[in-house]
Amino acid sequence: MTYARSLLATTLALSLAACGQPQSSAPAPTPPASTAPAQGEDGEVIAGAYLVGFQQQDGLSAQAVEQQAALQAQAIEAAGGVLTSQWADISAAAVQLSPEALARLQASPLVEYIEPDLVRRALGGPAVGQAADGGVSAPAASTGLGSQALYTASGETTWGDAALDVPTLRSQGQTGQGVAVCIGDTGIDGNHPEFARRLKGFRNFVTTEPNRNDPYQLNDVGQHGTHVAGTVFAQYGAGTGAPGLLGGMVADGVGGVASGANLYMARVLGDSGSGSSSAIINGVNWCVSQLKSQGGTENKVVVNLSLGGGRKSLTEQRAYTSAFNKGVLTVAATGNESTAVSYPAAYDGVLAVAAVDSDLKKADFSNFGSSVDLAGPGVAVLSAVPLGSGSAASVVSGGTSYPDVTGADKSGRGTVTGTLAQAGGTNNEFCGAGTRNPALQGNIALIARGTCSFEEKVANAAGSGATAVIITNNVEGALGLSLTNSYSIPVVGVTQAAGQSLSGQSSATVSVGSADYDSWNGTSMATPHVAAAAAVVWAAKPSLTNAQLETLLKNTARDIDATGKDNNTGYGLVQPLRAIQN
């Protein structure tokens, strides 16, 4: 102990000398001009914010680790930096540094590296997409189903639940009871009936705005965290009922994969769905602290991270290795850019999850590579969102209420009844920026999908005075609509068959209202399926270590692409029932 103390003290003295000033005369730190993201060489970074990795020494006692952390903090102060977070167990810290302070700290012999504090983002959103004409057909209706889908929904059972044998698991009492699932995300609407006010823990690591520290106040502006949490934990028989439901839903809403687990939420992403590496590390450490071995109350903890970014961080790798070594299983989304697996999913010690649709086909957006471990349902996934933030749409004409109607993500809310009018243009596609048709004034514009973006079509219709817009698909299936700007008029998408029928009608009623559920796409949606499945299996097999659990999940997955492990879906679709029976 004496040797370790003297060694650390000697190193600090050298560090202060390298900084070119005594500790007591450190200049006032210069905070960064902005904490907004800036573009780095290969990804966004937080301006003026850095992660510092100090030289690590193995075999130190708890007291020596504490002393080492104190010396590291002194070195940061001596360089003129501001310490914002410190992680003694991995010998690292988050700091704010001016260019001058950065140069001084880099000269310290205590420091192994200094890297930017990176931006990480949520990896999922409403079930709409981008294509040449601004969108793609959703592969399913609001309930997450396609007419030919391999897996379909029934009652509260979503297609994702069906794919993971959740009804059978529930009938056997396998709901994840006694295992904690800790989600790092945008927050949660704790008032949503699907959570039955049973959230066991909540902590905000992002901002200081009013209510962000209270899970029962508005903290999940981005909706993402609530949707992820619903996939894990939504309670059976606890739906919001009409009018908060989407078409085809039952009054009881949806059911989660691990409805008996202990649910925790770490708010590590802000209202826009983005956050920093440092905030996420703080959230993960809080999740780890729930373990009994770390002073908490939980025997087992699964961490869900439906977030990521394209740039590697040495500090993040240290943090996730530490979490794994302490017994936590971390599950993360691979990303939605159809490119290399994002971080943290690509790190050692993290289970990387790809997305598949209800036919068990890899989602076209799902990232790929040798780091992919497992796949989960990630296309048209129905789950809870903050109360009233979802979008419920309908079209009624000639006594027919059309199925599979989807509201645009930035549609106006309200109900409009009026005359249907063909928008015009080639194939009724109404393309050409600034195109106007006086016949649409005061009427509902009926427009065909194709050639130009949805945004261009809607802007042209709104500019022509249309009171609502119906865009019809040009292939089978529901049509998801993504817009650039917000509109005051209702904007909906309908199936090809509905469009053909509406072409023969003279009038219609179009409605877009609020809902308490929504259908989303993304590896963000696949990840909680796998995290919840892991919790269910761990509850059934509590003697397993996190490493053994990971191996079991891989060995019992349903093969999807090439035989064995592949770069698209890893070992395949997670199968918790098969894992329990193994």
Task: Give the residue numbers annotated as catalytic, written as ranges.
Answer: 185, 224, 524
Is residue 460 classed exposed, middle or buried when 0-12, 13-18 and 19+ CB atoms within 10 A define those classes?
buried
State the helix-helix crossing angle for 277-288 and 314-325, rounded to 10 degrees: 10
Q: What does the alpha-carbon distance between residue 124 and residue 520 come to, in Å, rounded to a whole number?
A: 7
In 453-568 the beta strands, taken as DSSP E runs, fall at 468-472, 491-494, 507-515, 517-521
Instruction: For residues 164 and 168, give the distance between their C-alpha atoms in angstroms, rounded to a whole number.
Output: 9
> Could you identify the residue written with the tokens 């004496």?
2
Tell me how far apart the alpha carbons of residues 446 and 207 are, in angstroms, rounded to a whole number.
Answer: 44
Q: CA angle, 465 as apex, 462 and 467 as ends, to 5°? A: 80
* Extended beta strands in 329-425, E state: 329-333, 350-356, 374-377, 381-384, 390-397, 400-401, 406-407, 414-422
SS3 497: helix
Tokens of 295: 């002073």
Q: What whole-number distance in Å separates Cα of residue 491 and Cα of residue 447? A: 11
Alpha carbon distance 471, 480 (integer Å):
10
Best CA proximity match to 471, nearest among 405, 539, 414, 387:
405
Nearest to 553 by CA among 561, 565, 567, 568: 565
Between the alpha carbon of residue 108 and those of residues 7, 78, 116, 170, the distances in Å are 15, 10, 17, 57
Bridge partners, residue 233, by sequence: none
CA gap 403, 219 in Å, rounded: 33
Three-state SS at 296: coil
SS3 content of the chain, % helix, strand, coil (to 5): 25, 25, 45
